[in-house]
C-alpha cells in the first residue's frame, strides 16, 4: 500500500473520530448526563482519550492548509521575494506535517489492556557459546539503560551468569505501568555480528540471544491453584555448579496443567525464591492466555509486525558497520552505540507506527468484506 493510501486511511479514520469528539462535547454539555455517574464517567474517559488525539489532528489540518496556501502563492504570485518566503514556509510546513502524521499514527489506536502493564523480560543466550552469553549481557544493559533514561525501576528476578561474563539467562522486571506496551516489540531472536573477544584470528562471528517480553498480570487475573503446582527445593548454586550454600533455598515450580517450569535461586530464603518463581510463573501463564487469544484472531487476520513468535529473527546488531537493522519493518539505523546505550525510542516509535498502519489496513479490508 502506498504512502498516499495510508495517509488517506488515516485521515478517514480521524475524520470519523472528530465527528464522535464533537458529539461527546455536546453530550457532556447536557446536565442530564450527570444523573448517571457511571455513564458520565465512561463518556468523560472516552472524551479525554479523543481530546488529546484531536488537538494533534486539528494542528495537522492547520498545517495542511498552510501548505495549500504556500503552494498557491508559489503558483500564482509574481513577487519573487514573496515566492521565496512561501517556499521557506512550504519546506517547514511539509516537515512539520510529516512529524504530525507520525504522531497521529502512534496515537490513533487505543492501548490494549496489557499494554498498560509493567514488563517482565527474559533474555537467554542462544547460538554462539560464550559470545552469546556476552551478547545477552549487552542486551540486558541496553534495557537497563533504557529504564534509567526513562526513570523506570528495574528489578532482577533471577540470573545465571556466563562463564566469561554476560548471562546464560537473566529475567528482570521493569516496574512501570506501560513498560510492556513499549517493549513488547523486543520479543524474538536478536542477532549480533562482531569480532568476539574470545576470537584470536579477528574473524567476525554471528551469535544470537532470544528475548521474551511478558506483561506482568495482576494476581486476580491469573489464579494458580496450589494443587496444580509441583514444588521442589534444592541447594542454590553459583557459576560452574559450585554450591554457594548447603541449605535448600532454591525453588523449582512446575505447573502441572501446562508443564511450565520456573526456577529461582537468587534470593536468600526459600520463601523469597518461591514468591519470585510464582511471579514469573504467573506472567508466563498470562502470556500463554494472551497468545491463545492472538492465535484465534490470527486465524481471521494476520499481523506482519507483531507476531509474538519467540523464534523469529527480529533484529541484527552489526558492529563493523555500526548499524542496527530491524527486519520486520526493514529499518536500518547507523547508531549502534546509542541504541545499545538504551536509546530505543527511534525503534519503538517506528514499530508502533508500523503496527498501527497494519491495524488501519485490516480495518479497511474488513469494511470491504
Residues 48-87 have pLDDT tens digits of: 989 999 999 999 999 999 999 999 999 988 889 989 999 9
Q: Give Cα separations from 184 to 210, 214, 268, 306 (angstroms).
A: 13, 7, 31, 8
* Helical H segments across 120-240, by residue range: 129-150, 179-183
Q: Which residues of the chain have pLDDT under 70?
A: 1, 198-201, 219-220, 237-246, 294, 296-311, 367-369
Alpha-carbon distance of 90 to 97, in angstroms, equals: 10
Provide the pLDDT for residue 147: 97
d(CA 328, CA 235): 43
Q: What digits encode the pLDDT tens for the residues 91-111?
A: 999 999 999 999 999 888 777
Q: Which three cell numbers stand for residue 145?
A: 539503560
pLDDT for 289: 83
Provide the 10 A C-beta neighbour count for residue 128.
Answer: 20
Cα 247 to Cα 80: distance, rounded to the nearest angstrom: 86
Residue-range domains of the chain with CATH: 3-107 (1.20.58), 113-360 (3.30.70.1660)
Say what the pLDDT of residue 299 is. 54
Q: What is the pLDDT of residue 269?
A: 87
What are the grid coordinates assigned to 176, written together? 512501570
The three grid cell numbers given for residue 91, joined into one nine-digit string: 519546506
- Whole-angstrom distance, CA of residue 234 vs CA of residue 175: 29
By DSSP bridging, strand 167-175 and strand 313-318 are unpaired
Residues 359, 111: Cα–Cα separation, whole Å: 12
| The pLDDT value given to residue 298 | 55
User: pTM here?
Assistant: 0.74
The pLDDT, as a whole number, for residue 367 is 67
Amino acid at each position: 500500500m502506498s504512502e498516499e493510501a495510508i495517509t488517506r486511511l488515516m485521515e478517514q479514520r480521524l475524520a470519523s473520530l472528530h465527528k464522535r469528539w464533537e458529539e461527546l462535547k455536546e453530550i457532556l454539555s447536557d446536565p442530564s448526563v450527570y444523573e448517571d455517574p457511571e455513564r458520565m464517567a465512561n463518556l468523560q474517559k472516552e472524551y479525554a482519550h479523543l481530546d488529546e488525539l484531536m488537538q494533534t489532528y486539528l494542528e495537522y489540518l492547520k498545517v495542511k492548509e498552510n501548505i495549500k496556501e504556500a503552494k498557491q502563492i508559489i503558483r500564482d504570485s509574481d513577487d519573487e521575494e514573496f515566492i521565496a518566503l512561501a517556499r521557506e514556509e512550504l519546506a517547514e510546513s511539509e516537515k512539520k506535517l510529516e512529524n504530525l502524521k507520525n504522531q497521529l499514527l502512534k496515537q490513533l489506536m487505543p492501548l490494549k489492556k496489557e499494554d498498560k502493564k509493567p514488563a517482565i523480560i527474559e533474555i537467554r543466550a542462544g547460538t554462539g557459546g560464550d559470545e552469546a552469553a556476552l551478547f545477552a549481557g549487552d542486551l540486558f544493559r541496553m534495557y537497563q539503560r533504557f529504564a534509567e533514561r526513562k526513570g523506570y525501576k528495574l528489578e532482577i528476578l533471577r540470573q545465571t551468569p556466563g562463564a566469561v561474563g554476560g548471562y546464560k539467562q537473566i529475567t528482570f522486571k521493569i516496574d512501570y505501568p506501560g513498560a510492556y506496551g513499549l517493549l513488547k516489540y523486543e520479543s524474538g531472536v536478536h542477532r549480533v555480528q562482531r569480532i568476539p573477544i574470545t576470537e584470536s584470528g579477528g574473524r567476525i562471528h554471528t551469535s544470537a540471544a532470544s528475548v521474551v517480553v511478558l506483561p506482568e498480570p495482576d494476581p486476580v487475573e491469573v489464579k494458580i491453584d496450589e494443587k496444580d503446582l509441583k514444588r521442589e527445593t534444592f541447594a542454590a548454586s553459583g557459576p560452574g555448579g559450585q554450591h554457594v550454600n548447603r541449605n535448600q533455598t532454591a525453588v523449582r515450580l512446575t505447573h502441572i496443567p501446562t508443564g511450565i517450569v520456573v526456577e529461582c535461586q537468587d534470593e536468600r530464603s526459600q520463601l523469597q525464591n518461591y514468591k519470585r518463581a510464582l511471579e514469573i510463573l504467573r506472567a508466563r501463564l498470562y502470556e500463554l492466555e494472551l497468545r491463545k487469544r492472538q492465535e484465534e484472531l490470527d486465524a481471521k487476520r494476520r499481523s506482519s509486525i507483531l507476531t509474538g513468535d519467540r523464534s523469529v529473527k527480529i533484529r541484527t546488531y552489526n558492529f563493523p558497520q555500526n548499524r542496527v537493522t530491524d527486519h520486520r519493518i526493514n529499518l536500518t539505523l547507523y547508531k549502534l552505540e546509542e541504541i545499545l546505550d538504551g536509546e530505543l525510542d527511534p525503534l519503538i516509535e517506528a514499530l508502533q507506527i508500523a503496527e498501527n498502519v497494519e491495524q488501519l489496513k485490516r480495518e479497511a479490508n474488513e469494511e470491504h468484506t
